[in-house]
Chain A
Amino acid sequence: MDLSVKILRYNPEKDSKPYFQEYKVPGVSEDWRLLDVLHEIKWKIDGTLTFRRSCAHGICGSDGMRVNGKNRLACSILLKDLNYKKTITIEPLPAMPIIKDLVVDMTSFFQKYEVIKPYLITKTPPPPDSERLQSNEDAEKLFESAKCILCACCTTSCPSTWTNDNYIGPAALLKTYRFVFDTRDEAPDERLDIIDNPDGVWRCHTIFNCIETCPKEINITWHISQLKTRLASREF
């Protein structure tokens, strides 16, 4: 089967602005990952095509990109899940500076992640020779948020991010949940203070793009709503 793919190209060493390039890729099959198509192009047609990838099965979070207008991981989407009989359009993740082709600058994404203090904070010393106790029920409350692979598909799909560079974004808020709701953590208020402002949790207008795009199928908006509820019921 032949496939037609249109990819947004941009090489700052040569191009004044991004442009679309179309590739005809012969011999593909509908059970291919989109990443396999990109490799087929890079390895057999055009070695200059540039994208990130590593694990190729949706765990490392490297290959987030915009596919037919939706943020996806190229390794987690098969051709048969796309309208592959028509030309497939691939662009870099939106609202991020392009470094080259499908590679975007992740600096601001990781900065926002670091702002919310993404690590367990405790004041009480742990038992010296054993684990802190936590019920499995409480542990499992964290698991969905801990699934996040930091691929940036959610944050870059959010219209609130597009219109406001300072918005912390769904990925960082999801990470905030992961620690605020960890029964072992002793600094939930410190983190809640960080997100309790117009560029924090309140910039989320429950548009649900993040949920639709999340390759790990995390209900991000629900987690954000739990933070809002927690903030609303906070006593000072």
Chain B
Amino acid sequence: MIKTYDVVIIGAGGAGLRAAVEIPKEYSCAVISKVFPPRSHTGTAQGGVCAALGNMEEDSWENHAFDTVKGSDYLGDQDAIEVMCQDAVRAIIELEHMGMPFSRNEDGKIAQRKFGGHTKPADPADPYGKRIPVMRSCYSADRTGHVMLQTLFENCIKNQVNFFSEYFVTQLLVENGVCNGVVAIDISTGEIHTFHARAVVFATGGYGRAFQITSNAHVGTGDGTSLVYKVGLPLEDMEFFQFHPTGLWRLGILVSEAARGEGGILKNKDGERFMQRYAPTVMDLAPRDMVSRAIITEIREGRGIRGSDGTDYVLLDVSHLGKKVIDEKLPEITGFARTYLGVEPTKEPIPIQPTAHYAMGGIPTDIDGRVLANEKGDIIKGFYAAGECACVSVHGGNRLGTNSLLDIIVFGRRSGKAVTEYLKTAEFTPLSGDAEEQTKKQIEFIKTGTGNENVTKIRTELQVMMMNKCGVFRNEKELNEGIEELKQLKERYKNISIQDKGNIFNTDLMEAIELGNLLDSAEATIYSAADRKESRGAHTREDHPKRDDENWMKHTFITKDNGSDPKITYKPVVVTRYKPMERKY
């Protein structure tokens, strides 16, 4: 069945919904999502969204940009970072105008608090000297992502956006450098639909489910990332995957950096505030890559605490903040500790461990969301990407906390604007032959498979492998072992079979397709990680422990090469005003 729209947006998280709000009424627009929009993963973001509003103390967008560049370990493209940080103030005000409920300060303005890696100069006369934490994160208790997602969904309802909820996109249609639609399965009936469009926006989120311990929802299977990779387009900087330092032990559920922003402290088994040894100035508010490495180092050196299942954790202590602060500012995350670990955070510390959290890499785009066809900067006409699935790159080697919510509203909007501009002149290009054939074959292959391989088993082995061989610390030997394991898992995937052969709401089938997508994202990640022989941001090579600006101030572009190892090329980092410096906090 063919449906025709001027633009289709895939994904109904913050980036997709913000793009949808931007499309003028005269153009038909469909938002396709594999879950109902308010179920999207944006809703789990907790701590805040940064903008130099200066509501609590003096601040500037240049401070924010410098922090983001430094936080990215100088891999972020500085022109894009400047665009984002400069636009941040307007973007937050706009959300408030849309109705987002924020916590407020004494003047009734949007309240702000400290967050990891967000600083300002201790002495304004010495802008690149010693820096101290600054209150920059705008928040709504610890449910910032939730209310942001709700607000954007509400504005889409106001604008009467067409939603196709519980439709699962299985194919990206690109021909001769032009994108003209997608193919999707209506999950509730199993029917296949082609969405013929003049423009397509991918806002499909991340792929944390490639790792064993993750903060990501079960839907975070990198579907968009994989569809792009499958059609032979490149992915950028896939080796940079962020581990959030404070996931609930065993479960990986996010405990926001806001806990430390409000004054929470990390402790090892001796009760020592160990971050003072790793980041003497900002301590517990160092960026995530540094804190995650510090925690793993503490555990490796025997200063972690051994849990009942034989795995190790350290402690996040918020008990000294008092019940009032905890109940008012951190209610959700302390509730998780109570519910899932039986820990009372007002009285005792919370067991935590690093958790796979965020893909800095993804579908390469320019600052208007246009998807790049190659490292030279050619674009695919009519194809846009925004949010976690995209790589602009504003996060470079390591994303600062709060900058993901900012990324989705700034670049979701910019993509929407760029699409609108494109639609003024772009025409529909004809669909080729039976566009749905590949999806039909894929479903047929999975449903009729009689092999003895099992989706759950392959997925679990993939997640364990990625955690152990491509996690916080990496080295050549383990990465190569991981690549070999991955090749075997991909072979085994060809022999899967599933139990549910039906059409209606077949989640058995969906999980099998999602596993295929995870394998692609993992492949791009581990090959890119094996290629980059330096340590930068979240990519830490034990065998190449130093950052190497001479050879590696460049983005990795990885492209699938059927039958052999993926191909890697590079694109130089855009440097405007911030020269690489040593990254100390």
Contact = CB atoms under 8 A, between A and B. Distances in A.
Contact of B504 (A13, A31, A131, A140): A13
Contacts of B146: 59, 146-147, 149
Interface stretch (A43-51, A157-165, A188-196, A200-208): A43-51
Contacts of B44: 55, 57, 59-60
A119 B39 contact: no
A56 B105 CA distance: 33
Interface stretch (A19-27, A98-106, A222-230): A98-106
B339 A143 contact: no
Given A56-B218, A139-B103, A62 B39 contact: yes
Closest 5 CB pairs of A and B: A120-B99, A47-B499, A133-B108, A43-B456, A119-B154
B101 A54 contact: no
Nearest to A113: B157
A187 B155 CA distance: 15
Interface string A139-176: 11011001101100000000000000000000000000
A156 to B, nearest CB: 15
Interface in B437-468: 456
Q: Which among A100, A120, A138 has the greatest number of chain B C-beta atoms within 10 A? A: A120
A78 B504 contact: no
A147 B93 contact: no
30 contacts: A13-B504, A42-B508, A44-B456, A48-B499, A48-B502, A54-B35, A54-B39, A54-B219, A56-B218, A56-B253, A58-B336, A58-B339, A59-B44, A60-B43, A60-B217, A78-B339, A99-B505, A110-B36, A119-B157, A126-B97, A130-B93, A132-B97, A133-B107, A136-B103, A146-B146, A146-B147, A147-B143, A149-B38, A150-B38, A182-B99
A19 to B, nearest CB: 16
Contact of A182 (B93, B101, B155, B500): B101
A150 B150 CA distance: 10
A13 B108 CA distance: 57
A60 to B, nearest CB: 4
B124 interface: no
B140 interface: yes
A47 B104 CA distance: 48
A118 B104 contact: no
A70 interface: no
Contacts of A235: none
B188 A99 contact: yes
A143 B101 contact: yes
B549 interface: no
B541 interface: no
Interface residues of B, number: 57
B157 A118 contact: yes
Interface of A: 11-14, 31, 33, 42-44, 46-48, 50-62, 76, 78, 99-101, 103, 106, 110, 114, 117-120, 126, 129-136, 138-140, 142-143, 146-147, 149-150, 179, 182, 184-185
Interface string B121-155: 00000000000000000001101001100100011
A54 B107 CA distance: 39
A46 B454 CA distance: 12
Nearest to B146: A59
Interface string B74-115: 000000000000000000110011110111111111110000
A10 B65 CA distance: 54
Interface string B144-185: 001100100011011000000000000000000000000000
Given A47-B498, A62-B39, A133 B109 contact: yes
A172 to B, nearest CB: 12
B503 interface: yes
Given A131-B109, A133-B109, A13 B502 contact: yes
B340 A78 contact: yes
Nearest to B43: A59
A131 B43 contact: no
Interface in B359-401: none
A143 B140 contact: yes
Nearest to B105: A136
A73 to B, nearest CB: 10
Given A55-B43, A55-B217, A133-B108, A11 B38 contact: no
A36 B339 CA distance: 14
B342 interface: yes
B474 interface: no
Interface of B: 35-36, 38-41, 43-44, 92-93, 96-99, 101-111, 140-141, 143, 146-147, 150, 154-155, 157-158, 188, 217-219, 251, 253, 332, 336, 339-340, 342, 456, 498-500, 502-508
Contacts of B43: 55, 59-60, 149
A50 B103 contact: no
Contact of A143 (B141, B253, B456): B141
A135 B105 CA distance: 8
Contact of B502 (A11, A138, A139): A11
A33 B97 CA distance: 39
Contacts of B342: 31
Contacts of B92: 131
Nearest to B512: A47
Nearest to A12: B504
A11 B498 CA distance: 17
B99 A119 contact: yes
A44 B457 CA distance: 9
A101 B342 CA distance: 31
A132 B500 CA distance: 53
Contact of B500 (A48, A52, A142): A48
Given A54-B218, A78-B339, A146-B150, A131 B93 contact: yes
Given A56-B253, A118-B157, A185-B99, 18 more contacts: A14-B502, A48-B502, A50-B500, A52-B35, A54-B219, A55-B44, A57-B340, A59-B43, A60-B217, A103-B505, A119-B98, A119-B154, A131-B96, A132-B97, A136-B103, A146-B140, A150-B36, A184-B99
Nearest to B341: A31
A14 B500 CA distance: 12
Contact of B108 (A11, A33, A135): A135
Contacts of B99: 119-120, 179, 182, 184-185
Nearest to A150: B38
Contacts of A150: 36, 38
Contacts of A117: 158
Nearest to B160: A114
